Structures are given as structure tokens and as C-alpha cells.
Amino acid sequence: MELVIFSYVLFHFCAVAYGLKQPFAYKLYSKNEINGNVIFSFDTSSVQACVALCDDTYGCLSVNFHKENETCQLTDYYPLDETKSGKPEEGWKIYFRRNFDVDLLKGATAWQSSTYSGAGVLHTADMVIDGNTDRDSVASVRLTCAITAYPFSYWAVEFGTSGPVKEVEIYLRGDDWLHRNTNFVVTVSNRRDDVINDVGKLCGTYFGPAIVKDPFRLTITCENTLYGKFLKIKHEMNDHMTLCEVFVYTP
């Protein structure tokens, strides 16, 4: 127990030093409010120490800080689109680091529920995040697009880093199979098991007319910004799914 206490005191000191020397990258989200599930709580009158510890704690997305009470709470709450609790808590403040400029697909890995092989090409999931948007001919579809082998399938990606998702842009095929360009459901999850078990936060859907005209592109904007580690695109159709490129945008 003494070793644990000593380690905590040492880390607390380092956190204070870190906070004082580094730019204050956290932003004030709300005054007189407290929100989120508490991951860890400790005593400090330094907001710099509070947010520095959040940076070094897995799963911490924001802090509840009360200067007068000298209390710092690390939480799993990510402030999204004015999602305040509505419950006044005098003296509390919420700080968080807004990752606007993060490239969620940098270092990302993709997979899909099944993979189609045709014309000597295995149409793997990683083709959707290779940056190649040339998909206007049968030849380019064969070389650059991911295709599932079975109907009612899905494609998913694990981001290189967790972050906020606001908009998803999907490049679709532009050849003779245009009828497939509809019936999409986009969700965001925090765990791979949630993707597999179809448990996720809904970003948006498209069940409108098949996209049959250039630029063969679909943009789905989340009603509320969603924070997560995984994105899933499900194809609710009794046919193969073809995706040629996907871009994910933060707010």
C-alpha cells in the first residue's frame, strides 16, 4: 500500500509540473455542471494536474473539476453537440480536449463480413481506405473496390485513434450494378464485439433511391456527433455490397 501511495504522489507531482509547462489544450465545456461516469477521483486544486492525469488515463474523455473543493474526477463523458446534463452543480466545471483535426483513418484497419473474389481479384476491406477514389469503370471496380460475397453484409473499420465522428462520405461503384447503391446503415462503436454483435450508436441511414448518377457518392451526417473507435456500414439488401472508398470526418 505504501508503494502505491508513493507512486501516486510522484505521479501527481509530475502531472502538476507537466500542466504548468505545457499549453492548456483542454477547453471549458460547461460551468456549474457535473457529468459522466467517474473513472478515478483525486484531490487537487490544479486544473492543469487534473487534465494532465486525464491525458494519461485510458478511457478518460473529460474531467469534472471543483477548485474550491479541490476535487478532480476523470470521466468517460465526451461533450457532444451541447449534450449538457441540465442539472446545476455549483462550482463544478467540465473540461475536455476537442480532437477536431485528428485523422481517424490514419493507421486504421478494416474488415468485412465476407469477401468476394472475381476476375482474379480478392476485393478486400482495406481497399475502402486506400485513398483511391477511381471507381467509374468496371476495370477500376475490379481493382479498387471492396465487395462482399454474401447479401445483408457489413464493412467495418477500427480507427487509428478514437475520436468524434460527424460525417461519413461513401464512394460507390459506377458500373452496371447501380441498384446496390442504397440501403445503408452507419453506426459508431467503442468495441469490436459491439460491431460484430450489431450494437452501436446510430449515425444515420440511407434507404432512398439507388444512387445511379455521377458522382456516385453518398454523404451521411450524424444527427449528433458520436465518439468511438469503430465505424460500421451495414448493407440491408439481399445483394452484394460494394464500397470503393470511405472518408470519416470529425466536427
Q: How many structural domains comprise the chain?
A: 2
Reported as a single tens digit per residue, the pLDDT across 9-28 is 334 434 443 443 444 678 89
What is the predicted pLDDT for the residue at 101? 67
Nearest 5°: the CA angle 153, 161, 107 is: 75
* Residue 241 clears pLDDT 80, i.e. is over it: yes
**Residue 84 sits in the same domain as residue 39:** yes
What is the predicted pLDDT for the residue at 10? 34
**Per-residue confidence band for 132, with pLDDT thresholds at 50, 70 and 90:** confident
Distance CA 61, CA 98 (A): 9
Q: Decide: 72 and 36 in contact? Cβ < 8 Å.
A: no
**Residue 113 sits in the same domain as residue 230:** yes
Reported as a single tens digit per residue, the pLDDT across 136-155 is 555 555 567 899 999 999 99
Residue 10 lies in a domain: yes
**Residue 117 sits in the same domain as residue 199:** yes
Of residues 187 and 178, the one with the higher pLDDT is 187
What is the predicted pLDDT for the residue at 13? 38
**Residue 195 sits in the same domain as residue 141:** yes
**Residue 235 sits in the same domain as residue 131:** yes
Residue 102 lies in a domain: no
Query: What average pLDDT does the chain have?
Result: 84
Reported as a single tens digit per residue, the pLDDT across 231-240 is 999 999 999 9
**Residue 91 sits in the same domain as residue 37:** yes
Distance CA 148, CA 236 (A): 13
**Residue 157 sits in the same domain as residue 34:** no
* Residue 207 clears pLDDT 90, i.e. is over it: yes
Q: In sequence order, which residues have a C-beta less than 8 Å from that of residue 152 and are 6 or more positions away?
A: 235, 236, 237, 238
Residue 1, all three cell numbers: 500500500
**Residue 73 sits in the same domain as residue 157:** no
Reported as a single tens digit per residue, the pLDDT across 151-185 is 999 999 999 988 889 999 999 987 778 899 999 99
46-50, 113-117, 175-179, 245-249: which range is least confident on average? 175-179
**Residue 195 sits in the same domain as residue 148:** yes
Distance CA 249, CA 251 (A): 7
CATH number of the structural domain spanning residue 158: 2.60.120.260
CATH number of the structural domain spanning residue 7: 3.50.4.10
* Residue 90 clears pLDDT 90, i.e. is over it: yes
* Residue 135 clears pLDDT 60, i.e. is over it: no
Q: What is the model's pTM?
A: 0.73
* Residue 7 clears pLDDT 50, i.e. is over it: no
**Residue 176 sits in the same domain as residue 223:** yes
